[in-house]
Amino acid sequence: MSRIAGTTYFKLDGDQLSLTGGIEVPLNTTSRDDVIGLDKSVDYKETYRAPYIKGTFKVPGNFPIDKITTADTMTATAELANGMVYVLREAWLSGEASFNAEEGTADLEFHGKTGFFQ
C-alpha cells in the first residue's frame, strides 16, 4: 500500500504556510458540458476554468496578510501526500479572505494564470 492522503506542504513565493486540513487543486482546467439536440445527437461544449489552489490555513502573528491580499504575481506550490506537486504561477488571492478567530484559521483560494503538476 502507498500513502495517498495526509501531510501536505504549501509554499507561497518560497515561504511555507501551514494548513489545518483541506487543500484542493484542480485535476483539469477545462470543463465539458453536454449539448444535446432534439434529434438525440450528443456533442459538447468546452469551457476553461482558472487554475487554483484552495485550503484552510493557520494564521500565526507573522502571517503575510499584506502580501497575500495585494500581490498578483505569486508562485504557490502544494506538495501533496501522494507525491504529486501542483504549481500555480502568477497567482493572486481570489474572493474574500476572512479570519476565523475561534479556530485561528483562514480559508483562502488562490487563482493563477497557469497551474500544472510537476
Count CA atoms closer than 13 A to 89's CA, side-chain side: 5
* Alpha carbons 23 and 52: distance in angstroms, whole number: 11
Percent of the chain's residues with pLDDT above 90: 83
Q: Which three cell numbers stand for residue 27?
A: 485535476
**Ordered structural domains, the chain, with CATH:** 9-117 (2.40.30.200)
pTM: 0.88
Cell numbers found for residue 53: 489552489
pLDDT at 55 over 70: yes
pLDDT bucket at 18, cuts 50 / 70 / 90: very high
> Distance between CA 95 and CA 103 in Å, rounded?
20
pLDDT for position 81 = 86
Q: pLDDT digits over 56-101, tens only?
A: 999 998 999 999 999 999 999 999 988 899 999 999 999 999 999 9
Where residue 104 falls among pLDDT bands split at 50, 70, 90?
very high
Provide mean pLDDT across the span 13-26. 90
